[in-house]
A and B are shown apart, each in its own frame.
Chain A
Amino acid sequence: MKPFTYERATSVADALRRTAGATQDGASAAYLAGGTNLVDHLRLGIREADRLIDVSHLDLTEVTELDDGTVRIGALARNADVAAHPLVRRRFPVVSAAMLAGASGQLRNMATMGGNLLQRTRCVYFQDLSTPCNKREPGSGCSAIEGFGTYNALIGASDACVAVHPSDLCVALAALDVTVVVEGPLGERRIDFGDLHRLPGDRPDQDTTLERSELITALEIAGPGFADRSRYRKLRERASYAFATVSVAAALDVRDGQIDDVRIGLGGVAHKPYRARRAEDALRGGPATHEAYAAAIATELEQARPGPDNAYKILQLQRAVPAVLDALTEAA
């Protein structure tokens, strides 16, 4: 680990002030929250920071219901606490389920909501300093395109990067109506969840649209109201404590056999938490049948560009998406 200084922020304003100070000094700064990803990366040398600004003690841990029914979750609430929170379990069980499918009990006790949004890819070449990786070192090349491709992206990858986003929580959030609240030098900014993460293009080193000094302070989950009829299914190589090969978060609103609304988030598919809008559009207003679900995911996957090692993900999605929607149809 390269040397850094440690600073404990006393407020959001204090954290922003310290980051601005680092920038003025020509120093790099990093916010420390749960540390489950950052500390590992600092130690591996994947990430370097001159100044570590610890925001983990800030008072941003509350889970509250706003007057309009929106659930607001402080960015520093721990994953384990949010997954177990009665309000989240009743209103958005798919969010609890997705978080409980991720990591281990120890890591969920440490990891924060905001940090989960910013965790970085588990692409094996990103983790391996001895190999080229455009995400870790822009311009160095991509080892995964011609290399070990089992976990590569299916959709939206570029010539520069084929890595996928690793979060389970984010797949559930992609299927819901979520706003990410951030504080920066110019004040508060509200970002639609779908606009937070980027496809790689020619800048795979930039995971998100956040400005360098911006700090996530809260998540707001507004709906849809049928999120109680939602499920999360994760496919992985062992029964627990592994990243997804693919995962599905779905919510379904069926009335008289017709689909009133449907949401589908997919994990393990793209550089960002992926919302399957083509499949949703194909389903809305149509019949709630297994055949329709299978046709819809086939439509979505027409744009997939699998390689020889990750084509199995297509088959997994073709089976998992209809299976999850079938289960929701039966429960409706």
Chain B
Amino acid sequence: MDHDTGGASTLSTKIVVNGTPQELTHDVRMTLLDALRDHLGVTSAKKGCDHGQCGACTVLVDGRRVVSCLSLTASLDGSEVVTAEGLGTPDDLSDLQQAFVDRDGLQCGYCTPGQVCSAQAMLAEVASGMPSHVTDPSALADPDVAVELSDAEIRERMSGNLCRCGAYVNIVAAIRDTAAQRAAAAGSAEERP
């Protein structure tokens, strides 16, 4: 498919946001973050630094966490985007969102949607065996060794999401709880006949 502006400064992009197909006609310079907030009314993704340094704008694109402030909408034609609203709603929170509430893993809450999206993807990355900077070198060099989700692993993997209010400890606890609950649920499912 030829997807270009042919010299024009606007173009049309189709993306699916939280399960809803959207077609945007937009300035070619528009980032995904601005498309979500200013054109689609999806305001959970927050504008913090707008330079990819704070993680408040983290969303999932085709299942992977990215910073939406450095993602050009034009480049995402055909992609599926999930924000914190897409993980759960106030009436029907996801397990991870509920764990953030239970553990008080937020203070002002501004960075929380990005933290939740990042944590959701991070747990999937661990489950798929991706190593991190704190993974033991011998395990790093042996892909058959499973990654243990220690607090150090959670902290390292969440380090792209900055919180200025000091809620780090409770965020780690919320993620740890969710990982344990999911592991228990998977275990009991396996035990069923």
Contacts and interface: CB of A to CB of B under 8 A. Distances in A.
A105 interface: yes
Q: Among A80, A97, A241, which residue has the most Cβ atoms of chain B within 10 A?
A: A241
A100 B67 contact: no
A35 B71 contact: yes
A36 interface: yes
A93 B139 CA distance: 10
A258 B180 CA distance: 48
- Considering residues B3, B121, B122, B135, which has the most beta carbons from chain A within 10 angstroms of its beta carbon? B3
Contacts of A106: 52, 55, 58, 65-67, 118, 160
Nearest to A100: B133
A50 to B, nearest CB: 10
Interface stretch (B4-12, B87-95, B96-104, B169-177): B4-12
B75 A90 contact: no
A84 interface: yes
B11 to A, nearest CB: 6
A4 B9 CA distance: 7
B130 A84 contact: yes
Contact of B75 (A4, A32, A100): A32
A93 B140 contact: yes
Interface centre among A4, A5, A101 (most CB of B within 10 A): A5
A109 B72 contact: no
Interface string B56-92: 0010000011110011101101000000000000000
Contact of B140 (A40, A89, A105, A109): A89
Contact of A96 (B52, B72, B140, B155): B140
A5 B52 contact: no
B167 to A, nearest CB: 17
Interface string A24-52: 00000000100110011011000000001
Nearest to B59: A106
Nearest to B50: A43
A145 interface: no
A179 to B, nearest CB: 23
A120 interface: no
A228 interface: yes
B159 A240 contact: yes
A7 B11 CA distance: 10
Contacts of A228: 141
A54 interface: yes
Contacts of A86: 143
Contacts of A110: 66-67, 70-71
Contacts of A64: none
B155 A39 contact: no
Contacts of A57: 75
A83 interface: yes
A103 interface: yes
Contact of B72 (A39, A97, A100): A39
B18 interface: no
B137 A97 contact: yes
A40 B9 CA distance: 19
B151 interface: no
Contacts of A39: 31, 70-72
Contact of A241 (B6, B66, B121, B159): B159
Contact of A5 (B28, B140, B156): B28
B2 interface: yes
Contact of A35 (B5, B65, B75, B143): B75
Nearest to B140: A93
A97 B141 CA distance: 9
Given A35-B75, A107-B67, A100 B132 contact: yes
7 contacts: A6-B75, A10-B2, A84-B128, A93-B141, A97-B140, A104-B161, A109-B66
Given A110-B66, A240-B155, 9 more contacts: A6-B5, A7-B5, A54-B72, A54-B74, A89-B143, A97-B137, A105-B118, A109-B64, A239-B156
